[in-house]
Amino acid sequence: MTSWAERQGDAFGGPRPAVDPRSEEGQEAVGFVLALGRALHSAGYSAQRLESVLTMVATRLKLANPQFFSTPTSLNASFGDERNQRSFMLRVQPGETNLGRLADLDAATLDVMRGTISIGNGIEAIERIIATPTHYPTALSLVAFGVLSAAIARFFGGGVAEILVGGITGLFIGVLAWTAGKWPPLGRMFEPAAAFLGTALATALVKLFGPMSLYIATVAGIVALLPGLALTTAMSELANRHLAAGTARLSGAFMTFLGIAFGVALGNKVTESLLGTVATAQPRTPAEWTLWLALAAAPVGLAIVLSAKPRDIGWITLGGVLAFLGGRFGADWLGVGLGSFAGALVIGIVANAYARVLERPASIVLVPGLSLLVPGSVGYRSLMLLMEQNVTVGVEAGFRMLITASSLVAGLLVANVVGPPRRTPERRITPRA
C-alpha cells in the first residue's frame, strides 16, 4: 500500500520510490531529520508538534516508514519496515523557547523541501542557526525583563509603587538569567536561587519605598520564572494522548514550582530576620489608560525575551492584545477559570491565520499571546498557601490552576478546528497551533 505522500506525488517531479535509510541518499536525509529534530526540541517544541513536523519532513524526503517518539529529555526515531528498521536515540534537554530560531529553522526546512538548497546545505544551515546568538543586544534583553514584570504588575492591579518594584525586580531576574547562561553552576539551580534573590530584593524595595502590596510586587518581579507555559504545554500533550511526554513535562513544571516556592519562602524568612516586618498596603490602582499601556508593552517585552525577530513584534503585539481582550471577555462570560478558553481560542485562530497567510510558524504569535493567559501566578499562590499550612485555600487555588490550564488547551484544540492553517506539504511544514 502506498503512503499518502506517494499517492499525492512529489511536487517537483512526480512519485518516487521510498528511500532506503541505509543508502547514501538515505543517510543524508536521516542526518537532516535528526539535526532538525534536535534543533526544534532545543527551541521549545512540544512533543506532538515535534513529531508532526519530523513525520512530514521525513515523508517529503521519501524516507521509508518514519516514526518518532519525543519526550522532554529524549528523541527516538526509526526508519524502514519493521524487519529491516534503523533506529536512533538522541539525548536532549528541554530548551528555552526561541521564536527567532524557530522562524529560521522553518525557513531552512522549507528551502530543503522545495529544492532551493541541498540536504547537506540544509544541515549546515541548521548548525549555523543554532550557533547564531539572539537578535537583540544584551542590555535590551535585560530591559525587556523589567518591562514585562512592570506590565504584569499593572495586570494584577498594582499601582505605581508595585509597578516600579516589580520592574526593578524583573530587571534583576534578567541579569541573573544572563549570568546563569554564562555560569553553569548557577544554571543548575537557577529558579530557586533567582526566586530567593528576587524575593529578597523586592522585600527590601518595599521596605525602602513604603507600604504597598508585597505579593503583587514579588509575583510580578519573578513572573519570568513561573512555568505556566510548560504546565499548559504538558496539559496539551496529555490531551493529545502523548502521555509519557505530558507526564514528564508536568512533573518538571511541578518541581520548578516547588523550587520557586522554596526560594520565595527562604527569601521572606531571611529578609524578615534582617529587616524586620515589612509594612504592606492595598495597591492604589492608577488610571485605566495605564492598563492599555501595559497591554502594549507586555507583548513587546515577551517578544524580546523570547528572541523573536524584530519584524514579528507587530504581529506578536496584535496577538497579545487580542488574547488579553478575549480572556477578559471570557472571564466576564464564563468566569475566571473557564474564561481562559476564549482567550486561547482567539489567539489560536489568530496564530493559525498568521501561519496560513504568511507561511511562518504559528508559534511566533501563539506562544507570546498564550503567555499572557497561562496560570503560573495561580500555581505560585497555591504552593505558597500550602507552605503556610492554609491547605484548603491552597488546594482550591491549585484546582483553579488546573481548570485554567485545561481551558487553554480546550481553546487551542477548538481553534485548530475552527481556523486551521494551510497544511499542504509543499507550502507548510509546521503543524497547527
What would the mean pLDDT of 409-429 be, rounded to a whole number?
68
Domain of residue 65, residue span? 4-131
What would the mean pLDDT of 229-242 be, rounded to a whole number?
82
Q: How far apart (Å, rounded) are the C-alpha atoms in residues 264 and 189? A: 14
**SS3 state at 90:** strand
| Number of structural domains the chain divides into | 2
Q: Do 191 and 87 share a structural domain?
A: no
Q: Do 340 and 231 share a structural domain?
A: yes
| Contacts for 271 with CB less than 8 Å, ≥ 6 apart | 199, 200, 203, 204, 207, 278
**SS3 state at 10:** coil
The pLDDT, as a whole number, for residue 424 is 42
Q: Do 271 and 400 share a structural domain?
A: yes
The pLDDT, as a whole number, for residue 313 is 92
What would the mean pLDDT of 317-341 be, rounded to a whole number?
81
What would the mean pLDDT of 372-379 be, rounded to a whole number?
64
The pLDDT, as a whole number, for residue 115 is 83
Listed residues 83, 98, 131: the one ending a domain: 131
Q: How far apart (Å, rounded) are the C-alpha atoms in residues 129 and 135? A: 12
Number of residues that make up the chain: 433
What would the mean pLDDT of 95-102 be, rounded to a whole number?
84
Is position 413 within any domain? yes
What are the backbone dihedrals phi and psi of residue 74, each rounded to the nearest 5 degrees, phi first? -155, 160
Q: Do 254 and 120 share a structural domain?
A: no
Residue 385 has pLDDT above 70, yes or no: no
Q: How far from 245 is each of 36, 49, 237, CA to CA, in Å?
A: 19, 12, 7
Q: How far apart (Å, rounded) are the C-alpha atoms in residues 101 and 413? A: 25
| Contacts for 250 with CB less than 8 Å, ≥ 6 apart | 231, 234, 235, 238
Listed residues 99, 131, 163: the one ending a domain: 131
Assign 358 a pLDDT band (cuts: 50, 70, 90).
confident
List, for residues 247-293, the tens digit of each pLDDT value: 888 888 888 888 888 898 898 889 988 888 888 888 888 888 898 99
CA-nearest of 157, 187, 203, 188 to 377 is 157
CA-nearest of 141, 212, 205 to 169 is 205
Q: How far apart (Å, rounded) are the C-alpha atoms in residues 54 and 33? A: 7
Identify the burial level of 73 via C-beta atoms within 10 angstroms of its C-beta, where 0-12 means exposed, 13-18 middle and 19 or more buried: middle
Listed residues 131, 148, 163: the one ending a domain: 131
Mean pLDDT is highest, among 16-20, 82-86, 289-293, for 289-293
CB atoms within 10 A of CB 83: 5
Assign 375 a pLDDT band (cuts: 50, 70, 90).
low
Range name among 40-54, 57-71, 364-378 with the lowest pLDDT average: 364-378
Are the C-beta atoms of 102 and 360 separated by less than 8 Å? no
Q: Do 154 and 125 share a structural domain?
A: no
Q: How far apart (Å, rounded) are the C-alpha atoms in residues 116 and 20? A: 23
Assign 240 a pLDDT band (cuts: 50, 70, 90).
confident
The pLDDT, as a whole number, for residue 362 is 87
Helix/strand/coil (H/E/C) assignment for every residue in 283-324: CCCCCCHHHHHHHHHHHHHHHHHCCCCHHHHHHHHHHHHHHH
Please indicate whether residue 200 or residue 285 has the higher confidence score (pLDDT). Answer: 200
**HSE toward the beta carbon, residue 76, CA cutoff 13 A:** 7
What would the mean pLDDT of 294-322 be, rounded to a whole number?
91
Q: Facing residues of 91 across strands?
A: 74
Q: Do 69 and 189 share a structural domain?
A: no
Q: How far apart (Å, rounded) are the C-alpha atoms in residues 415 and 319? A: 14
Is position 209 within any domain? yes
Is position 193 within any domain? yes
Is position 83 within any domain? yes
Q: Do 48 and 66 share a structural domain?
A: yes
CB atoms within 10 A of CB 9: 11
What would the mean pLDDT of 55-63 be, rounded to a whole number?
89
Q: Do 127 and 160 share a structural domain?
A: no
Is position 286 within any domain? yes
Q: Phi/psi zone of residue 68: left (φ > 0), alpha (ψ -120 to 50 degrees), beta?
A: beta
Assign 341 a pLDDT band (cuts: 50, 70, 90).
confident
The pLDDT, as a whole number, for residue 325 is 87
* CATH code, domain carrying 81: 3.30.1300
The pLDDT, as a whole number, for residue 13 is 40
Assign 391 a pLDDT band (cuts: 50, 70, 90).
low
The pLDDT, as a whole number, for residue 422 is 55
Q: Do 178 and 49 share a structural domain?
A: no
Is position 414 within any domain? yes
Q: Do 281 and 265 share a structural domain?
A: yes
Q: How far apart (Å, rounded) are the C-alpha atoms in residues 364 and 104? A: 11
The pLDDT, as a whole number, for residue 382 is 61
Assign 369 a pLDDT band (cuts: 50, 70, 90).
confident
Compute the radius of gyration of the chain from its Cα atoms.
23
Residue 96 has pLDDT above 60, yes or no: yes
What are the backbone dihedrals phi and psi of residue 2, each rounded to the nearest 5 degrees, phi first? -80, 155
Taking all residues of the chain, what is their mean pLDDT, rounded to a whole number? 82
The pLDDT, as a whole number, for residue 12 is 39
What would the mean pLDDT of 196-222 be, rounded to a whole number?
89
The pLDDT, as a whole number, for residue 233 is 83
Cα angle 400, 188, 309; round to 5: 70
> Percent of the chain having pLDDT more than 70?
87
Is position 81 within any domain? yes
Is position 424 within any domain? no
Q: Do 145 and 107 share a structural domain?
A: no
Please indicate whether residue 316 or residue 250 has the higher confidence score (pLDDT). Answer: 316
**SS3 state at 212:** strand
Please indicate whether residue 389 or residue 371 has the higher confidence score (pLDDT). Answer: 371
Q: Do 412 and 293 share a structural domain?
A: yes
